[in-house]
């Protein structure tokens, strides 16, 4: 029998409603603060969030031990988890307070060489698929990339805040595309207009996918981005926006081209694994830049398109969270 899980702080509708009421005065308060005091204040708020959110704190530690295995005992797990909470809240603040002007958005971002590669890919007229993760600052990454051309962000529906997020993104040349309401044809149409499509692929989603290794552990991963690249001819980039001291740096991998003549199954397996490896390597290099408080390796959510392949390659596949008690 499936155990009913308690909602965490992050999924509390009451919290979202409370935050929305406080949003305007809190935003004005942050804007009048000097940047150093602003970051200090938000870091303290993030620490408070870290201490009161015991379920996600425990889950984060569990995920680190699961993915790093024998290396986990030698890692500063508590520090990684604490820093990931702080950086998550800081990235949300910086995304929300991001200016609408292109020049101001790029003022503290080093993206010259990465931009040249994206521009070169766009010159082919087939659009660009930019895959990222909840790593570094993915929200601000959307706005940075949108300074090149209008971009489309494939996102999940957010309760309470969706209208606000849509408006905030539109003001910065980013169009929200809700993943559950968008077909392959609509996504191919976006690429056909030579636009940038931004996708995050580091969460367990209720979509068709295939099992590949992510941080060494089998994880169900959607393959739709690979399909789009194979059908449209658009190149795939994997990118992250990482903060170093007071400036952001755009780390870009690619372009990767999925041959149109390649088999559907073969391309899905090889390129989905390649993308997962790139994201995993980035997380291993900077573990505190990724928020660990999600059930990434759950096996009861995604739709396995190739169960025979899964049984053959991952005969001992199991849901690690069945033995994990978050309560």
Reply yes or no: is the peptide bond before residue 255 cis, omega within 30 of 0: yes
> Would residue 89 count as lying in a domain?
no
pLDDT tops 70 at residue 325: no
Q: Does some domain include residue 14?
A: no
What is the predicted pLDDT for the residue at 45?
A: 86
pLDDT higher than threshold 60 for residue 10: no
Let me know if residue 25 belongs to a domain.
Answer: no
Residues 147, 106: Cα–Cα separation, whole Å: 8
Is 288 a domain residue?
Answer: yes
Tokens representing residue 321 in the block: 């969270």
Asked if the structure places residue 32 within a domain, the reply is: no
The whole-chain average pLDDT of the chain stands at 89
Tell me what pLDDT residue 1 has. Answer: 43
In a domain, 307, yes or no: yes
Domain range spanning residue 130? Answer: 103-321
pLDDT tens column, 44-101: 888 998 999 999 999 999 999 999 988 888 899 999 999 999 999 999 889 988 988 9
113-143 pLDDT tens trace: 999 999 999 999 999 999 999 999 999 999 9
Confidence of residue 146 (pLDDT cuts 50, 70, 90): very high
pLDDT at 34: 79
Residue 240 lies in a domain: yes
Number of separate domains in the chain: 1
Does the residue 60 lie in any domain? no
Chain segment 286-305, per-residue pLDDT in tens: 999 999 999 999 999 899 99
């Amino acid at each position: 029998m499936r155990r009913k899980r308690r909602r965490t702080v992050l999924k509390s509708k009451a919290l979202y409603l409370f935050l929305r009421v406080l949003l305007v005065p809190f935003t004005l308060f942050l804007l009048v603060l000097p940047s150093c005091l602003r970051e200090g204040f938000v870091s303290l708020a993030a620490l408070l969030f870290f201490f009161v959110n015991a379920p996600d704190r425990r889950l984060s530690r569990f995920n680190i031990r699961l993915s790093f295995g024998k290396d986990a005992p030698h890692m500063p797990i508590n520090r990684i988890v604490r820093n990931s909470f702080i950086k998550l809240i800081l990235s949300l603040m910086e995304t929300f307070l991001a200016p609408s002007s292109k020049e101001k958005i790029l003022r503290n971002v080093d993206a010259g060489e990465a931009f040249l590669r994206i521009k070169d890919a766009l010159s082919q007229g087939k659009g660009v698929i930019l895959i990222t993760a909840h790593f570094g600052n993915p929200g601000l990454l959307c706005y940075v990339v949108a300074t090149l051309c209008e971009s489309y962000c494939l996102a999940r529906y957010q309760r309470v805040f969706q209208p606000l997020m849509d408006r905030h993104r539109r003001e910065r040349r980013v169009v929200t595309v809700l993943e559950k309401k968008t077909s392959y044809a609509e996504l191919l149409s976006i690429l056909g207009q030579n636009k940038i499509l931004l996708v995050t692929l580091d969460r367990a989603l209720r979509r068709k996918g295939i099992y590949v290794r992510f941080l060494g552990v089998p994880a169900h991963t959607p393959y739709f981005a690979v399909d789009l690249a194979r059908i449209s001819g658009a190149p795939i980039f994997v990118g992250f926006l990482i903060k170093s001291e007071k400036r952001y740096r755009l780390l870009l991998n690619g372009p990767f081209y999925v041959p149109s003549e390649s088999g559907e199954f073969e391309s899905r397996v090889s390129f989905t694994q390649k993308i997962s490896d790139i994201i995993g390597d980035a997380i291993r290099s900077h573990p505190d830049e990724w928020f660990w408080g999600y059930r990434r390796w759950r096996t009861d959510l995604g739709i396995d398109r190739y169960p025979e392949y899964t049984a053959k390659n991952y005969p001992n596949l199991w849901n690690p969270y069945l033995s994990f008690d978050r309560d």
